[in-house]
Amino acid sequence: QQQVKQSPQSLIVQKGGISIINCAYENTAFDYFPWYQQFPGKGPALLIAIRPDVSEKKEGRFTISFNKSAKQFSLHIMDSQPGDSATYFCAASRGSTLGRLYFGRGTQLTVWP
Amino acid sequence: DTGVSQDPRHKITKRGQNVTFRCDPISEHNRLYWYRQTLGQGPEFLTYFQNEAQLEKSRLLSDRFSAERPKGSFSTLEIQRTEQGDSAMYLCASRSTEAYWKNTEAFFGQGTRLTVV
């Protein structure tokens, strides 16, 4: 059973546009929600993360929006660039135990120049 | 390089052979995780260690899989009698539990790509 559901599976955006990736979860015990970026042949790298005590977190062009009541969170990439082309994974964990991460299936983002 | 290091980067083996992968975590990180990633999927949890203690194992970790972290530093993941379905990227990650609200980031290595032929 997929603990974190991610959509869309693939996304094509023009340079300068906004990329939006959505995730949903069921387990209300999750309290740490990171997004990872992965390039081909590389391991995932943390992009940005949020805890449920805030509804939004922004770091540069990357913003996480978090809706606790709907159990949904999303990644917005503003002014998307060709260098942002990668696979993005949302994840969740129960931070109090700093345990395993539950990953979504990933979104392959392509930004056209 | 002070990141998570995995060796080898690529491994091709014949079905039925045993393989062993090594992970060297970031030195001050006391928690170490193994994940498996198949093509087009997100990483799936296999097991994790707190220092040398193995605290959780996924049901994905069949009897053919074993992981160790004998001195609480590097870890090894062994797969016995490999099957074609074991072909995947095996990722190692580490993090520190010293301060909960800080430094909760899990750092991943570049993975070991296993191909079973």
Please answer yes or no on whether B108 and A45 come within 8 Å at the CB atom: yes
pLDDT more than 70, % of chain A: 96
User: Which residues of chain A have a CB within 8 Å of the CB of B42?
Assistant: 6, 89, 91, 103-106
pLDDT tops 70 at residue B1 = no
The predicted structure's pLDDT at residue A97: 54
Predicted confidence (pLDDT) per residue in B15-63, tens digit: 999 999 999 999 888 899 999 999 889 999 999 999 999 998 998 888 9
Cβ neighbours for B38, distance < 8 A, ≥ 6 positions apart: B44, B87, B88, B89
Q: How far apart are CA A89 and CA A23, in angstroms?
A: 9
The reply to whether residue A43 touches residue B31, judged by beta carbons under 8 angstroms, is no
Closest residue in A to B100 (Cα–Cα): A96
Identify which of A54, A26, A73, A97 has the alpha carbon closest to the alpha carbon of residue B45.
Answer: A97
Closest CA to A93 of A27, A35, A32, A51: A32
Query: Which has the closest alpha carbon to B90: B50, B38, B17?
Result: B38
Interface contact flag, B104 A95, Cβ < 8 Å: yes
